[in-house]
Amino acid sequence: MRRVAGLDATLTPHEDRIRKNFQNWVLKRHAGKGDKFSDAQMDWLRMIRDHLATSFHIEKDDLDMSPFDGQGGLGRMYQLFGEDMEPLMDEMNKAVAG
């Protein structure tokens, strides 16, 4: 569909596109003098990336389901990202899955 709509020049599996977009997004976020993600935060971001590869979108309610619930769910993500949690999920939906 993305190729037909002119968004992509070649046919690329969705999971591969998600992984590439995620890598580019993290590199942009880590460029410059801004805060870098910690190892614990990166573990969560990778789980979100994998979720986006199968679900196309992440919402706060998804954090109560597997695999997030096994890692502390919504509460743990809030501990790691604080008030930036929801804006970060929105950003990932646009930059990684969009």
Please tell me the distance from the alpha carbon of residue 88 to that of residue 93, in angstroms, as a whole number. Answer: 9
- Answer yes or no: is 23 within a domain: yes
In a domain, residue 1? The reply is no
Report if residue 81 sits inside a domain.
yes
Residue type present at position 66: S
- The pLDDT mean for the chain works out to 89
52 in a domain, yes or no?
Answer: yes
Within-domain flag for 87: yes
Phi, psi (degrees; rounded to nearest 5) at 94: -80, -45
- How many independent structural domains does the chain possess? 1
Q: What is the dihedral of CA 31, 35, 38, 44, to 10 degrees?
A: -80
Does residue 6 lie within any of the structural domains? no
Q: Residue 84's domain spans which residues?
A: 18-30+37-95
> Read out DSSP for 15-82?
HHHHHHHHHHHHHHHHSTTSPPPPHHHHHHHHHHHHHHHHHS---GGGGGSTTTGGGTHHHHHHHHHG
Report whether pLDDT(8) > 60: no
- For 52-92, what is each residue's pLDDT tens digit? 999 989 999 999 999 999 999 999 999 999 999 999 999 99
Instruction: Report yes or no on 91 lying in a domain.
Output: yes
